Amino acid sequence: MLRRNRGEYVLEGPAGTLPVREEDEVAFKLAMLFEGECEGLGPTRAAKKFKYSKQRYFQLRKSFEESGTDGLRNQKRGPKTNYRRTDEVTRQVIRHRFLDPDASAEVVAQKIRQSGMPIAARSVQRIFQEYGLQKKTVRRSS
């Protein structure tokens, strides 16, 4: 059972204790699953004790069953790839920029969308910036 003892967390059993670092996400999730499944606390009470929802408890249990403790690690959120700014879209943006250096990001985005590839003008601006394709501004000396 996980307990807070003198300001630190410890896993406590009949024969002794084992310290757990506060930043150890895997140990906390494993302790929750252990208490819920093996110590009779049940999914709802274990999830509540560890400040998780019942749904998250079952997600973590499934991840643990499929991947072991690796399944309990926090994963990066959000998209894993650039699904809009693909390599092909990037090539087309660069191609359009070289064909018409005066075209705005909005115009280039519109041309690419017309060819069936979804892209926003802001994404085109980011590609321009990433590859140094912005228009140069002429500074006048005073």
* pLDDT at 21 (0 to 100): 87
Let me know if residue 82 belongs to a domain. Answer: no
* Same-domain check for residues 121 and 66: no
pLDDT per position in the chain (142 positions), as tens? 787 777 788 888 888 888 888 888 999 999 999 999 988 899 999 999 999 999 999 999 999 999 999 999 988 888 878 788 899 999 999 999 999 999 999 999 999 999 999 999 999 999 999 999 987 666 666 6
* Same-domain check for residues 14 and 60: yes
Count of structural domains within the chain: 2
pTM score: 0.56
* Same-domain check for residues 67 and 94: no
Which one, of 28, 10, 124, 105, lies nearest residue 69 by Cα?
28
103 within 8 A of 137, measured Cβ to Cβ: no
What is the C-alpha to C-alpha distance for residues 27 and 43, in angstroms, rounded to an integer? 17
Let me know if residue 77 belongs to a domain. Answer: no
* Same-domain check for residues 66 and 92: no
